[in-house]
Structure 1
């Protein structure tokens, strides 16, 4: 059996109030606050400039090696996955050092380069070389990945999804990206948030004041596949809202066999045996939270937390409070899982164990090429869909996260080396390119009762945010969703028949 990492939150943990929100993440937030105070108090103008420059270094941005690996031999996959997980761990550790050494950065303009970014490059270079060796030993060929070893630093206020913009290529201080409302403008200190690494006031927008935009998914990667033509049926599966607190910080798709491979906490519904060590055989034999017992598929996404000063069961755990993911975990009020058809034609059955990742957990530093985010509020979903902002909903309205998955499959593979190239989104006209086959499109709609944050004096009070890799600062653009198909063949055939004949089935 796979390792069981499910944990139930205690009522005491939910009610625990932090003595100071800034003390989370090893006091990173408090260090920022003290730093800004000292920057204001100093009378030395040149010293002020040095400190202001240091203030703008908010996070570390490293090239995503995994997305470059599109052809990894099967015999090298496990070794490569372990090394990719090592790269994530190295970035996490470097970010933690960045967040805990703010004072040293103000005293030494070369500190970030010499003590953090430089050593990180050396570690990454060695790991990337091991990836090359793994692939070549398995008979594969690999491009020169050595240029991907170098990382940059960047400020928090960059275009969401455009993480590389404004990063200083030599790893020095970023003088082009003023911290969100921070520093001498008297706004939010540090990176905001209870954990000191986000979110900030700039990450939120009052949805009643947001401009109306196109229908759900238009303008984002996750175009809705269904329409008025083609296969117009639907198949809905009801798998609960994770009321049994099935959580872990693994990701069996991208980091199989690696504990805490996600560096953030996931909600799981459907399959009850999903952790880093679960085999396909174990997943196929697992229990399911779905009402239809023919659906043992695994549906998982990063948890949503409200940062109201409270802490949850994982406040001292890897992937939780130790990595800046703090606050009270919110259980969805609704978790709607629906499969729809293709606007141009019929769909074919998904293969067993098909894996699909949609969105990008690292979109803030990767750029938005793989981002797939839709944030809104009930009553506004047909008016406003947000990609790079969290909505502040009016009284009586709930926060909504909606995701449309890729719905074109290459017809051969259940996964790919970068976990993306075996599936694709439909084109604007609804067709699948490159000979791919249309499959049922999974649409996930999560609804939450979230106390509305308030923006006061440039700071956000009681913000909410998705869990993220710590260096991605809890930006809304980093939301993502995962799916592994373990429908029984009979149930999958029923789904396909319902969709292709225009029925609405459950």
Structure 2
């Protein structure tokens, strides 16, 4: 694992989470959540019954960061740090939710009074500080941000295996030691992890061919105006560079992602890497002019393996358990624009595609595609595919390819970029740049789904409260190509050549 010994800025709430998470580890493993969520899911429930009563499955908080705009540059570092602290507060609250099931069963107001109410107060204090930091830096904070302080419990019916377990299995009536007192129950897949569940998987043969369109850039650009391609080979993380930081969304914050990322390309990549660090770093890319950083949340096989981070924040201490799976292939390709030529990306341009919080935020920014080799005309966003023997799992992200022509980042890390419109062109005021397409291929044993239970599932690392849903998949990129290479990329694409 790649580590950095520079001083890390750790949000106060993270320190609290570390202690709380330690209490959740014991015996057979993590007891993060002895329940499963099936809200926000579609399709038939195979061989299972549902509990009669809904229960609070996770915590749904408004995403303050997505609502920010007009944050002065000199305030962004502090604001990003405050947002990272809010993420840690949600993680702490979710951990408390997951380990107090019996108390909740005995008091219908327990969640509101003990978890959600105090969380709102803590979030309000953070929002007040964000507003003050924006105003001090010469900006104008949105007075309505206070409305985003409150969170709600998100109910979900719990999948059951139909064996006569009373209620939702959360009242202790036949749970025999599960819940907050330790141990595991049958609804955590034997992993002690909150998800995925059986309903998060679908047989690839049950996915309709060609059912996806170009929404959010999932269809390739480059069918008309600029038809060339440029492929960069940066390996599959052979150097074992992992961390739970997020340099784009939470610079300067240790464990800002609360889940682990794979990295290819730039080899000096953590929350404390400056642009100068990135420019002077080594790269895993075959073309040494490409020091860009490409990173995505790891996939894990929940087979009981204790990884290097089994007891660490970002890993097992936050519900991300099992064996990390490196991709067998990592294809990084830049393509063109349907309406015309592309222009060069600015150095250090940052792009996030997808949304790590899509399960609670909704799918407006969801931008992932899951499929199987041999079946890639069948794409799905909110399910993990079950692939037939001899077929591999494929996850694809096609990035925003319209740039505002001015900024390498924005306050919410999205406003400086846009997807192409229906006609393939960019919105007014935006310029077409090479579109990054990331295709990752994995050798994964196909999970077994029987009687509403999934055994040995695979799942994307996620914020704990996102329950390892496939819709939370996302991908990140910082352009650190040298000027000559970027010009070569643009020339190849605009001239219709296929280069590498």
Class of the TM-score when normalised by the shorter of the 2 chains: 0.7 to 0.9
Match of 2:112 in 1: 113
Partner Cα distance (2:27, 2:247) in 1: 33
> In the alignment, which residue of structure 2 is the partner of 1:395?
389
CA distance in 2, matches of 1:371, 1:21: 35
Number of corresponding residues? 449
1:504 corresponds to which residue? Answer: 498
Structure 1 match to 2:276: 281
2:272 alignment partner, SS class: coil
Asked whether the equivalents of residues 136 and 142 of structure 1 are also in contact (C-alpha less than 8 Å), the reply is yes
Q: CA deviation at 1:77?
A: 0.7
Aligned equivalents of 2:446, 2:462: Cα separation in 1: 21
Q: Could you tell me which residue of structure 2 aligns to residue 133 of structure 1?
A: 132
In the other structure, the counterpart of 1:209 is 206
Mapping of 1:415-430 within 5 angstroms? 415-430=409-424
2:222 touches 2:228 (CA, 8 Å); kept in 1?
A: no
Q: What's the CA shift string for 1:82-116, capped at 9, x where partnerless?
A: 10001000000000111111111112211111111
Aligned-pair CA distance for 1:226: 2.1
Contact 1:22–1:28 (Cα < 8 Å) also in 2: no
For 2:234, which of 239, 250, 253 is the aligned residue? 239
In structure 1, C-alpha distance between the alignment counterparts of 2:279 and 2:160, rounded to whole Å: 50
Cα distance between partner residues in 2 of 1:113 and 1:192: 28
**Corresponding residue of 1:178:** 157
Whole-angstrom distance in 2 between the partners of 1:339 and 1:209: 31
CA distance in 1: counterparts of 2:113 and 2:167, whole angstroms? 29
Aligned to 1:164: none
Secondary structure class of the residue paired with 1:329: strand
2-structure distance, mates of 1:387, 1:238: 26
Change (3 A) 1:193 1:147: farther
Q: The residue matched to 1:154 in structure 2 has which SS?
A: strand
Of 249, 252, 260, the residue aligned with 2:247 is 252
Structure 1 pair 76/276, CA: closer, same or farther in 2 (3 Å)?
A: same
User: Which residue number in structure 2 is paired with residue 160 of structure 1?
Assistant: none
Measured against aligned partners, the alpha-carbon deviations of 1:444-493 in whole angstroms (never above 9, x if no partner) come to 00000000001111100100000000000000000000000000000000
Deviation at 1:428, TM superposition (A): 1.3
Q: Bigger CA drift: 66-75 or 182-191?
A: 182-191
In 1, Cα distance between equivalents of 2:306 and 2:272:
28
Task: Check whether the contact 1:207–1:377 (CA below 8 A) recurs between aligned residues.
Answer: yes
Distance 1:211 1:462, change over 3 A: same
List aligned pairs for 1:348-387, cutoff 5 A: 348-382=343-377, 384-387=378-381
Which residue of the other structure, out of 292, 308, 316, is the alignment partner of 2:311?
Answer: 316
CA shift, 1:190, in A, is 4.5
How far apart are the structure 2 equivalents of 1:111 and 1:347? Answer: 56
- Tell me if structure 1 keeps the 8 A contact 2:35–2:158: no
Distance 1:28 1:490 in 2: 50
Is 1:24 matched with 2:29?
A: yes
Query: Which position in structure 1 is the counterpart of 2:12?
Result: none
- Who is 1:146 aligned against? 146
CA gap 1:22/1:121 in 2 versus in 1, 3 angstroms: farther
Give the corresponding residue for 1:82.
81
CA distance in 1, matches of 2:392, 2:168: 31
- Distance in 2, matches of 1:258 and 1:186, equals 38
Q: Which ranges in structure 2 are unaligned for 5 or more consecutive residues? A: 7-24, 37-50, 170-184
Describe the SS at the equivalent of 1:369.
helix
2:287 & 2:237 partners in 1: Cα distance? 16
In structure 2, what is the equivalent of residue 494 of structure 1? 488
| Greater shift in the superposed pair: 104-113 or 281-290 | 104-113
Question: Aligned equivalents of 1:263 and 1:90: distance in 2?
Answer: 12
CA distance 1:23–1:366, change in 2 (3 Å): farther
* 1:478 partnered with 2:472: yes
Do the aligned partners of residues 206 and 492 (structure 1) sit closer, same or farther apart at CA in structure 2, a change above 3 Å counting? same
Q: 1:387 to 1:497 in 2, by over 3 A?
A: same
Flag as ranges the 4+ runs of structure 1 deviating above 3 A.
20-24, 180-193
